[in-house]
Structure formats: C-alpha cells, structure tokens
Amino acid sequence: MSGRRSGPDAGQEAPAWPSYDPDGFYDELVGPGGVPRPAAEALWEHFADLGPGALNERQEAADREMRAIGVTFTVYEGSTGRDRPWPFDIIPRVMPSDQWHVIEAGLVQRLSALNLFIDDVYHDQRSVSSGIVPSELVTGSPNFRRECVGVDPPGGVWAHICGSDLIRDADGTVYVLEDNLRVPSGVSYLLENRIVAKHVFPELFRHYSIEPVDPYIGRLAGLLASVSPSTGDPTIMVLTPGVYNSAYFEHAFLAQQLGVELVEGGDLVVLDDDCVYARTIDGLQRVDVIYRRIDDLFLDPEVFRPDSMLGVPGLMRAWRSGRVALVNAPGAGIADDKKVYSYVPDLIRFFLDEEPILSTVSTLRCSDEESRRFVLDNLEKLVVKPANESGGYGVMVGPQATESELAEAAKEIESQPSRWVAQPVIPLSTAPTLCEGEIAPRHVDLRPFILFGPEGAYVTRGGLTRVARRAGSLVVNSSQGGGSKDTWVVGTTGAKVPNQPAASNESTASKESTASKEPAVPTHPDPDS
C-alpha cells in the first residue's frame, strides 16, 4: 500500500491531528507548529489516513494479543501479587538512526568507564588515590562489597548487562538519568513490544527501515558464553528468585529465548570443590555461568543475609575461586548510585582519556557545604534524591512538594548531608499516545540495554520507551499506571514511502526555542528493585 492519501481529504494541508499540542515540551514525533519530525513523517501521515477509529481498533487488537501471549507484569497489593497484562501503546516512538548511533557510542563509553571504575574499586583504587573520587564514596557506600576485593572476573568486566534510563530535555538534549548495573529488567518487554508492533502495523514495517531488536538474545548468549570458566560448551543458567518475583515473566522469557535452564536457589548446590552444580534428573551437573536475577544480598546466605532462602550457600566462594561466572558480578552496584553518577564524566576522562559523549544532569552533592547551602535555599526548584539508592525511592520533587515536605527534606539534608544529592528539574519530552480514543502528548523516558563483555559491547537498537499515561504525569513505571511503546530506530534515509522526502539528519544536540511552562520531573523507580 502507499502512504499517499486518498479520498476526499487528499491534498489537504492541515496537520494530521490539529488538536495535538505538546504544550512547550520537546515532542519525540512532532516538531514546532505541529509538523512531524522528518523520521516520523510517514508514520504521522499514515495515522491520519487510518483515523482515530482504525487506530483504536488496532490498539484493542494489540491489547488482546498481549493478553493472549501472556505478557504480564506483577502488581503487588499487600502481599498478594496479581498478574496484569503488559500495557502497550501502539504509537511507536521514532528515532533517527544517526542520532541513535551517537547515543549508542555514549552508552558504551559510559559502561566501559564504569567497569574500569568497579574493577579499580576492588583493586588498587587509583581513582581514589588520584583524587578523582573521595574515598568515602567507595568504602563508605552501602553498595561496596568487601567480599569482592581482589577478585578478577573474566576480562575485568563486572557490569555485563546495564539498563540506562535516558530522558530528553525541552531543547532536545538527551541525558543519562541513571545507570542500572544490578539486575536491570525490561528487555523482555522491549522484545515483546516489537513482536506485537509488527502485527499491529505490518504495512509500516514494509515501508520503514526499522533496525531489528531481536539480535539482543544472540548477543546475550554470546556474552554469557564468553565469560565461562570452562573450555568447551558452557552450561549457562538463569537464576530467579522464583515465580513470586515481579520480574518472573522476564526471567522465564529470557531462559526460554536463550534455550537455557531457569533455576531457583534450591536447584543449585555448591560442593567442597567450590563448583556449582544443578540438580538434574541425571544427577548433579556442573554449571559454568549464572545470569543471576537476584540481588547481591540474597545471593549467598553463607556470606550475605543468612536468612535468604533465595540464594545458594557457597555461591560467593565458587565465584571468588573463578569456578563459576556471575552476571552481573556481585559488587557492581557500587557504580550505579546517585553520588557516583555525578562523578561519571570525571571517571570517563580519567579511565578512558575521552570527553563524555552523553550529557548527565548536573548533580549537587549536599555533603559539599557550598552546594548544600544552595540546595537548601532553592529546595522548591530542585529534585532531591537519596545518594545510595538506585531507582526512584525517597525522591522529593521540589515544585510538587508541600510546605511540610520541603521542611522535612531540609531537616534530613541538614542532619545527614552526605545521604542526599539534588538535581535541577528536567522537563521530560513527550510522545503522541492513544488516550481514550484520542492522540495526546504524554511524557516518556527510554531504557536501552547495553551488553558489555570481554569480547565487545552491544546496545539494543532503541530501547524500552516508558510512558506516563495520565496527562501531565511524570511517573512512567508500570506498577503505577505507566505504559510502554515500541521504539523504532529508523534508517536516515527515512521512510521509503512514495512522495516522502528523505528524512534530514537530526542531531542529538538539536536546539529548539521551547520554553517549558510547567517543569517536568524525572522519577524512575526501577521495576526490579
């Protein structure tokens, strides 16, 4: 089919959705004046051809399919978990590939530096002795694992799988908001979204060059095999806390896609030879690589929390002796807290001797007296976050806080300044989203996944776009009503629809004079934690 309009409306120049107004925020698909961005032109026109009725039918079909193929996430109400169908908005977010490749290089650069930093933390601590980071950042962190000191994981890689949260400012600048180096989740939804999107808009996949997301699984399999301590074909397993974990769907999905076993702690045993074995129908079988989806502190009751029923006694012993590989390595979480975040540009310069490719949100450490004074004086304009947490817990959003919340935050900061950091409020970009039958702007973020092994790195093409479904809301996580979108990284030749001009390049640094009326605030609780 062609993207050309037909029928009585053909040739009209009115914008496809006259009512669509991003309201001063940067919109991912629609530029100033309601004109679609080059990479999104064909898509936008196609939607106008379809009209709201057909779009809504396709949304319903997508909802049915998500439900039918059993893509769920677990919501906890009290102690009982309930499986909910995964919320998926059919309107994709489109990103030109040249723009994406800059982001990709920036993410790999970041993860390279973070891995060097983690390895340094557990060895010489050159970054401390050279004055790049203060020693209390390392040894004073609750995420520092003494048990990891001196360990040499294969290739010196600690954080093999990273999910980074990206946001876009009102002027179009992309920022890294957070790196998740512990057990980042969401990649299964990214892959399932694409499967459903192909069924929803098969005609668009014919006209657009959309970069595939499927290679992730093969790359992940290669990465896991590459860290095996054994020669020959490695035995790889995914370790899950069990069916009651909120990310269990993903654990099962990944094991199935990788073609490996999904194990719980009770399926594994560490013997006196410091090797890990699985209880199989044929007896005990040696395990080489464990893609663990259990937090550090639950991994091994012999070393960490003795009450953990999820882990495997002796697992740390096996890992330290190099007889099993753990992905991600224990202790990697030292590099993903808010305070380390503020040092990442310095770490990139120190370890790689390069300038950071991606921007970070400027972060004030309240332990610094001058910064603290500024933060206390401007609380109502800032976002205050706990320094050692990953995810959105304990976040205080100044512009939305009540007087008493502000006073409480000020008290906390003054009594324990080193626990807190503050950031300016970033007005999150929006993307067109189907809301009650209409297309309306909703705030989005983006979580790409980065694989990093001794043999190279790989970044998903695009990522999981999370969208706040309530108007004006900035909460994108699914447990609080957030939805998701497929993310299309499209070739710079753009849509190959007749009469469509090739999409022009759009750089990450593209600036637009848009004044945000209301400040948006990034809050991104991590679904796994």
Partner 1 sequence: MTETMTETTTEKSTDPSRDNDPANETEAPKMLLARMAEAVYWSGRYLERAECTARIVQVHTDAHVDMPIGEDVGWEPLLAIAGVDTEFGQRYPSVSGSEDRRAAEDDVVEFLLHGEDNPSSILAAVSAARENLRTARPVVPREAWEAGHNLWLNCSDYLDEAQSRKGRVQWLRRVIDGCQRINGILLGTMTRDEAMSFLTIGQNLERADLTSRVLDVRSENLHPQRGDDPYVEVHWMAVLRSLAAYQPFRRAMPARPQGGSTLRFLLQDDRFPRAVSACLTETRSQLKGLARSEEALDACADASMLVASAAVPRLTLGGLSEFLDEVQVALDEIHHQIDQTYFRPTFEGWQPQSAAT
Task: Using alpha carbons only, give the angle 289, 291, 292 rounded to the nearest 5 degrees.
Answer: 120
Binding of partner 1 by 106 (CB under 8 A)? no
Sign of CA dihedral 70, 71, 77, 81: positive
Go through 112-142 and write b for each residue having 16 or more CB atoms within 10 A of its CB, e for each that does not.
Answer: bbbbbbbbbbbeeeebbeeebbeeebbeebe
Which of helix, strand or coil describes residue 276?
strand
- Check binding of 116 to partner 1 (CB under 8 A): yes
Note whether 205 and 192 are within 8 A (CB). Answer: no
Q: How far is the CB of 168 from partner 1 (least distance, A)?
A: 23
How far is the CA of 460 from the CAs of 8, 211, 246, 471, 502, in angstroms? 42, 9, 23, 29, 24
Q: Per CB under 8 A, which region of 55-63, 115-123, 395-403, 420-428 contacts partner 1?
A: 115-123
* Span from 176-184, 374-382, 447-455, 468-476 in contact with partner 1 (CB under 8 A): 447-455
Name the residue nearer to partner 1 (CB basis): 326 or 421: 326
Contact residue for partner 1 among 304, 343, 458, 488 (CB under 8 A) = 458
Contact set for partner 1, span 228-267 (CB under 8 A): 228-229, 231-233, 235, 238, 243, 252-253, 255-256, 259-267
Q: Interface with partner 1 includes 60 (CB under 8 A)?
A: no
Nearer to partner 1, 272 or 355 (CB): 272
Residue 119 touches partner 1, criterion: CB under 8 A: yes
Q: Is 22 exposed, middle or buried (0-12, 13-18, 19+ CB in 10 A)?
A: buried
Residue 255 or 384 with smaller CB distance to partner 1: 255
Tell whether residue 326 is a contact of partner 1 (CB under 8 A).
Answer: no
* Separation of alpha carbons 457 and 111, rounded Å: 9
Is residue 461 within the footprint of partner 1 (CB under 8 A)? Answer: yes
DSSP class of 148: G
Measured distance CA(379)–CA(386) in Å, rounded? 14
Q: Contacts with partner 1: how many residues (CB under 8 A)?
A: 68
Q: Using the rule CB under 8 A, which residue among 50, 75, 102, 105 binds partner 1?
A: 105
**CA–CA–CA angle 100, 256, 164 (5° rounding):** 30
Residues 329-358 that bind partner 1 (CB under 8 A): 352
CB 72 within 8 A of CB 83: yes
190 binds partner 1 (CB under 8 A): no
Are 337 and 137 spatial neighbours (Cβ–Cβ below 8 Å)? Answer: no
The CB-of-72 to partner 1 minimum distance in angstroms stands at: 9
Q: 262 vs 439, which CB is nearer to partner 1? A: 262
Distances (CA, A) of 216 to 71, 226, 258, 364, 489: 18, 15, 10, 36, 15
Among the listed residues 62, 224, 384, 457, the single contact to partner 1 using CB under 8 A: 457
Task: Strands of 256-399 (E only): list them.
Answer: 261-263, 268-270, 276-280, 283-287, 289-292, 325-327, 359-360, 364-365, 382-386, 396-397
With CB under 8 A as the contact rule, the residue among 61, 75, 225, 435 that binds partner 1 is: 225
- Measured from the CB atom, is 328 or 388 closer to partner 1? 328
Does 272 participate in binding partner 1 (rule CB under 8 A)?
yes
Exposed, middle or buried by CB within 10 Å (0-12, 13-18, 19+), for 105? middle
> Which residue number, 56 or 209, has a Cβ lying nearer to partner 1?
209
Return the amino acid letter for 195.
I
In the complex, the smallest distance separating the C-beta of residue 251 from partner 1, rounded to whole angstroms, is 10
Residue 271 interacting with partner 1 (CB under 8 A)? yes
Among 270, 382, 426, 475, binds partner 1 (CB under 8 A): 270
Rounded least distance, CB 201 to partner 1, Å: 19
Tokens at residue 128, please? 């401390």
Of residues 353, 363, 368, the one with CA closest to residue 134: 368
Cβ proximity of 127 and 347 under 8 Å: yes
Least distance to partner 1, CB of residue 231, Å: 4
Residues within window 123-162 making contact with partner 1, judged by CB under 8 A: 152, 154-157
CB of 373 to partner 1, least distance (A): 39
Q: Which of 75, 102, 221, 269 binds partner 1 (CB under 8 A)?
A: 269
- Residues 276 to 305 in contact with partner 1, rule: CB under 8 A: 278-285
Q: Which tokens sit at 17?
A: 């959705």
On whether the CB atoms of residues 201 and 178 are closer than 8 A, the answer is: no
Identity of the residue, 319 or 452, whose beta carbon is nearer to partner 1 in the bound complex: 452
What is the SS3 assignment for 185?
coil
Nearest distance from C-beta of residue 325 to partner 1, angstroms: 11
d(CA 208, CA 92): 12
Which residues would be at the binding site for partner 1 (CB under 8 A)?
Answer: 67-70, 104-105, 108, 112, 115-116, 119, 152, 154-157, 209, 211-212, 215, 219, 225-226, 228-229, 231-233, 235, 238, 243, 252-253, 255-256, 259-267, 269-272, 278-285, 312-314, 352, 452, 454-458, 461, 491
